[in-house]
Amino acid sequence: MTIERRVTVGWPEGLHARPASIFVRAVTGAGIPVTIAKGDGPAVNAASMLAVLGLGAEGGEEVVLASDAEGAEETMGRLAKLVSEGLEELPTAD
């Protein structure tokens, strides 16, 4: 079953440079396969810095995070919070 989260990019500068790096590190550290798409566009590997930068997602735009990994629910919630709130690091589990 695929877990999806539609979120609005909270970083004012969008998923560029530093925010993209924060996001990619968080995805890589999560240890599950995750994709990201801009709106209804094609999904790319969220663990790839070049792919994430290539999306050109700006602040305020919607992105879709998805994973079909077992037990992805909690991780996807944390990644969604990271992106929507424009955090500096992945929030810890509650």
Q: Which domains does the chain have, with CATH numbers?
A: 3-85 (3.30.1340.10)
Instruction: DSSP letter for 13, please.
Output: T
Is 75 in contact with 94 (CB distance < 8 Å)? no
Identify the pLDDT of residue 94.
Answer: 52
Dig out the tokens for 50 from the structure: 């070049």
Give pLDDT, residue 93: 63
The pLDDT value given to residue 14: 95
Task: Please state whether the predicted TM-score (pTM) of the whole model is above 0.85.
Answer: yes
CB contact at 8 A, 73 and 34: no
- Which of 16, 77, 80, 84 does the annotation list as catalytic? 16
Q: Cβ distance 76 to 36 under 8 Å?
A: no
Place of tokens 């991780």: 75
User: Is residue 9 annotated as part of the catalytic site, yes or no?
Assistant: no
Q: Which residues of the chain have pLDDT under 50?
A: none
